[in-house]
Amino acid sequence: MTEPAVKYHLKKKEKHTGARLGTLETPHGTFPTPMFMPVGTQATVKAISPRELKEMGAGIILSNTYHLWLRPGEELVAEAGGLHHFMNWDQGILTDSGGFQVFSLAQMRDITEKGVHFKSHLDGRNLFLSPEKAIAVENALGADIIMSFDECPPFFESYDYIKKSVERTSRWAERGLKAHKHPDRQALFGIVQGGGHKDLRELSAKALVSLDFPGYSIGGLSVGESKAEMNHVLDFTTPLLPENKPRYLMGVGSPDALIDGVIRGVDMFDCVLPTRIARNGTCMTSHGRVVIKNAVYAHDFNPLDDNCDCYVCQNYTRAYLRHLFKAQETLGLRLASYHNLYFLLHLMKQIRQAIADDNLLDFREQFFEEYGYNKQ
């Protein structure tokens, strides 16, 4: 029996919630959990260099199988020695399997038992992605953690559709497990689906746990349902997963969703939000969102966030950042991206401390009040 590529060590359970403190041991380092993973869809976290990512304490970052398969192609990345060498990132990398991106990006053609036929969003070419092909691409890219090929059905699809989709996704997961060439150095996670239905989440989790994956992702969420609905699904989904394996909530999220996910036993998160909103000048701060292009900041010579010790908040003012965005200067989106990523990475650090101190609910109350969530 080969040693799994990734090992989760549960260090402590928070006294009053389902939150846990742990470490995730990977071939490219051991990282504390709960953790936030910056997204670098096309082998780059947009506008931020690996050196800056390290400086801000990023551990594992994400890339996308779908995008890198289409461009530059997994063969070229393999020729470079894999993603870590290609993008000069020597910490952790996780790749999503492409299923989600096909449904969200490509012009859909057809979903069959075998796989998914679709047209490339780049040039309209007819393409086909199967569990075997997705795993082969992820094996070639060489990420430390890779995802099973799954279907993420719309949250409000019919019960029957979601049930059939869960059953097919479980069969796809088993096919992916069989096709996986490097379980010793790449950990393949199963992805739990089932929409908002407790029995379908149980059906999905049961099938995947019986296949004994080294880690489990919770998919099918953060796809337009309310935060209350997402939290409700987490309430009955995380307990279905083994305590000694990492749990990754895909595509999440905003500060409140991160805190509420940790409280429900989630260990890993990723979201494009921090870098995406930064590109139009929306910044997360301890006092809530700051839309830096607003005229109110024109003469505001304070830091973006007076509680933040990041490079941006130590060296630049709101007035300067507003000027950069008004002048459409690239440095503006770079600095806003840097701060937003730092903000979420630092939030996870505060959450880990709150778990250690058994006061995560107090931390939640203070953070929500200061951020302005209680006013919403």
Which residues are at the interface with Zn ion (CB under 5 A)? 308, 310, 312-313, 339
Sign of CA dihedral 109, 111, 117, 121: positive
**Would residue 123 show up in a list of annotated catalytic residues for this protein?**
no
**Residue of 24, 43, 56, 62 interacting with ligand AIQ (CB under 6 A):** 62
Closest approach of Cβ 100 to ligand AIQ, in Å?
3
Comparison of 94 and 308: residue with beta carbon closer to Zn ion: 308
97 near ligand AIQ, judged by CB under 6 A: yes
The DSSP output letter for 249 is E
Residue 178: burial class (beta carbons within 10 Å; 0-12, 13-18, 19+): exposed
223 near ligand AIQ, judged by CB under 6 A: yes
250 near ligand AIQ, judged by CB under 6 A: yes
Distance, CA of 77 to chain centre: 22
Report d(CA 235, CA 265) in Å as an integer.
9
Closest approach of Cβ 63 to ligand AIQ, in Å?
7
- Which x/- pattern, by CB under 6 A, does the window 177-216 give for ligand AIQ? --------------x-------------------------
Closest approach of Cβ 160 to ligand AIQ, in Å?
19
Q: Can you list the alpha helix ranges (DSSP code H) found in 56-158?
A: 65-70, 74-79, 83-86, 99-105, 131-141
Q: Which two tokens stand for residue 22?
A: 């742990």
Interaction partner, residue 147 (ligand AIQ, Zn ion, none; CB < 5-8 Å by kind)? ligand AIQ
Closest approach of Cβ 49 to ligand AIQ, in Å?
19
39 near ligand AIQ, judged by CB under 6 A: yes
Q: Can you list the alpha helix ranges (DSSP code H) found in 106-226?
A: 131-141, 159-179, 198-210
Torsion of CA 333, 339, 344, 349, to 10 degrees: 160
Residue with tokens 């099973």: 148
The DSSP output letter for 158 is -
**Would residue 96 show up in a list of annotated catalytic residues for this protein?**
yes
Interacting residues toward ligand AIQ by CB under 6 A: 39, 62, 64, 96-97, 99-100, 147, 150, 152, 191, 219-223, 250-251, 270
**Residues catalogued as catalytic:** 96, 270
